[in-house]
């Protein structure tokens, strides 16, 4: 009994004391690689912050953010929750069919309404004479969520809403060309080497022909998608394969460093290698088809990897990301004349669209 008492006090005491000393005197990183965010700084110590309780609130965040072995503890929590307690998800993240994913549920009518109103405003302001298309990229939950007992959007109803609210746009259905294998296991995005059929279907639906062959190139660096850090689970890394051919090699890019920006390949998010990731306006010019049609794409990050595949069919593709440029000043940066316009968005952004202005 005495040994048990001693062991209880010693083990628990040492655990708390060692971590406590680490909290007080140890150094912790300012940035969380796994969560891709800056961690809280030590709060300001003033009479006002202390007397108002602001200091204690901020210290709570600081001490939690800067706790020693944060990622290890986050992993312990994730495994306990998902495997010891058999909970379906941890912070909305789940594992199904080898994929890490996040619940995209429920549909948010405020967000979808915001998106359609914004698109309609753009149409009325800039697109009087343009042929307008719309396509919605389903997130990978369409193929893995409901099938494995997880909550997911009603994708049919979701796209029907946009079709109804945007009667001026011709809807292009692409979900028939997609399945779970077309997405990275650890990330939200689709794999470029798996969406050549989607690109062909899109081009043909917009009246262009696209018969192209590609060479597959494998990126040397492992790709740990956005869900790896968020989930805190140990999973196998993805590999990025990017496609090249003569057309893609000859493309000229404005607003991004290159079609495949190798400086981003080793960054925290290697998917940003596609057209340098998030940029407000990117122009991709195809000198091999200088007389061809032009296309303006209102887009999110999914478009970065499919645009090089579409480029052969157009003389110029302009990508506009409304999260980084306000729609009221588009005419200063985008020439809509003689262009087809494609609204190409993932369900994830449409269901969380307030960042688009």
Partner 1 sequence: MLFSSIPFLYYFLPCVLLLYAVTPKKLKNLTLLISSLVFYAWGEPRLVVLMLITVTFGYVFGMLTEFVPKAKKLWLILAVTVELGFLVYFKYVDFFIGNFNAVTGLSIPLLQVTLPIGISFYTFQILSYNIDVYRKDVPAQRNPINLAAYIALFPQLIAGPIVRYSDIQKELTNRTHSLEKVSLGVRRFILGLSKKILIANVLGELCDTFKASDDKSVAFYWLYAIAFSLHIYFDFSGYSDMAIGLGKIFGFTFMENFNYPFISKSATEFWRRWHISLGSWFRDYVYIPMGGSRVGKVRMFLNIFVVWLLTGFWHGAAWNFIVWGLYFALLLVIEKVFLLKFLNKSKVLSHIYLIFFVLISFVIFNASSMSEAFSYIGSMFGAGNVPFISVETLYYFRSYIVVLLIALIGSTPLPKRLVEGTKFVKVLEPVVFLILLAVCTAYLVDGSFNPFLYFRF
**Pairwise CA distance, residues 241 & 226, whole Å:** 17
What are the residues facing 318 on neighbouring strands? 283, 296
Is residue 111 involved in binding partner 1 (CB under 8 A)?
no
Q: How many residues bind partner 1 (CB under 8 A)?
A: 50
Stretch that binds partner 1, among 20-28, 193-201, 243-251, 336-344 (CB under 8 A): 20-28
* C-alpha distance across the termini of the chain, in Å: 67
Is residue 148 involved in binding partner 1 (CB under 8 A)?
no
Is residue 110 involved in binding partner 1 (CB under 8 A)?
no
Alpha carbons within 13 angstroms on the beta-carbon side of residue 335 total 7
Q: Applying CB under 8 A, which of residues 25, 27, 86, 176 lies at the interface with partner 1?
A: 86
What are the residues facing 93 on neighbouring strands? 90, 102
Q: Applying CB under 8 A, which of residues 40, 89, 165, 204 lies at the interface with partner 1?
A: 89
Is residue 31 involved in binding partner 1 (CB under 8 A)?
no
Q: Of residues 281-300, which lie at the interface with partner 1 (CB under 8 A)?
A: none
Q: Of residues 56-85, which lie at the interface with partner 1 (CB under 8 A)?
A: 56-57, 59-61, 63-64, 67, 70, 73-78, 80, 85
**Pairwise CA distance, residues 297 & 304, whole Å:** 10
Angle at 299 between CA 296 and CA 301, to 5 degrees: 135
Both tokens of residue 229? 């850090």
Q: How far is the CB of 58 from partner 1 (least distance, A)?
A: 11
Burial class (CB in 10 A: 0-12, 13-18, 19+), 9: exposed
Is residue 131 involved in binding partner 1 (CB under 8 A)?
no
**Pairwise CA distance, residues 127 & 122, whole Å:** 7
Interface ranges with partner 1 (CB under 8 A): 1-2, 4-13, 15-17, 19-20, 23-24, 50-53, 56-57, 59-61, 63-64, 67, 70, 73-78, 80, 85-89, 91, 106, 149-151, 232
């Amino acid at each position: 009994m005495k040994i048990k008492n001693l062991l209880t006090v010693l083990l628990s005491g040492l655990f708390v004391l060692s971590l406590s000393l680490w909290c007080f005197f140890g150094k912790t990183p300012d940035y969380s690689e796994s969560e891709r965010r800056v961690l809280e700084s030590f709060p300001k110590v003033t009479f006002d912050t202390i007397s108002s309780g602001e200091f204690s609130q901020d210290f709570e965040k600081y001490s939690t953010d800067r706790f020693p072995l944060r990622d290890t503890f986050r992993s312990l929590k994730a495994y306990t929750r998902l495997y010891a307690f058999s909970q379906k998800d941890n912070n909305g993240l789940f594992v199904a069919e080898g994929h890490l994913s996040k619940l995209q549920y429920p549909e948010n009518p405020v967000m979808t309404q915001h998106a359609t109103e914004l698109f309609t405003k753009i149409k009325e302001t800039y697109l009087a004479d343009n042929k307008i298309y719309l396509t919605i990229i389903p997130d990978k939950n369409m193929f893995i969520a409901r099938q494995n007992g997880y909550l997911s959007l009603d994708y049919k109803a979701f796209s029907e809403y946009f079709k109804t609210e945007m009667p001026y746009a011709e809807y292009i259905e692409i979900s028939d060309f997609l399945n779970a294998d077309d997405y990275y296991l650890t990330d939200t995005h689709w794999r470029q080497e798996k969406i050549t059929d989607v690109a062909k279907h899109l081009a043909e639906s917009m009246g262009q022909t696209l018969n192209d062959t590609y060479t597959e190139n494998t990126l040397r660096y492992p790709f740990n998608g956005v869900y790896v850090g968020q989930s805190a689970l140990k999973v196998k890394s993805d590999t990025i394969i990017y496609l090249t051919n003569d057309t893609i090699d000859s493309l000229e890019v404005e607003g991004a460093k290159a079609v495949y920006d190798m400086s981003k390949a080793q960054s925290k998010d290697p998917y940003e290698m596609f057209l340098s990731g998030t940029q407000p306006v990117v122009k991709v010019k195809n000198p091999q088809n200088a007389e061809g049609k032009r296309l303006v794409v209102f887009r999110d990050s999914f478009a970065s990897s499919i645009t090089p595949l579409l480029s052969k069919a157009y003389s110029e593709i302009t990508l506009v990301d409304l999260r980084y440029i306000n729609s009221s000043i588009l005419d200063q940066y985008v020439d809509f004349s003689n262009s087809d316009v494609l609204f190409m968005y993932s369900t994830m952004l449409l269901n969380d669209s307030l960042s688009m202005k």
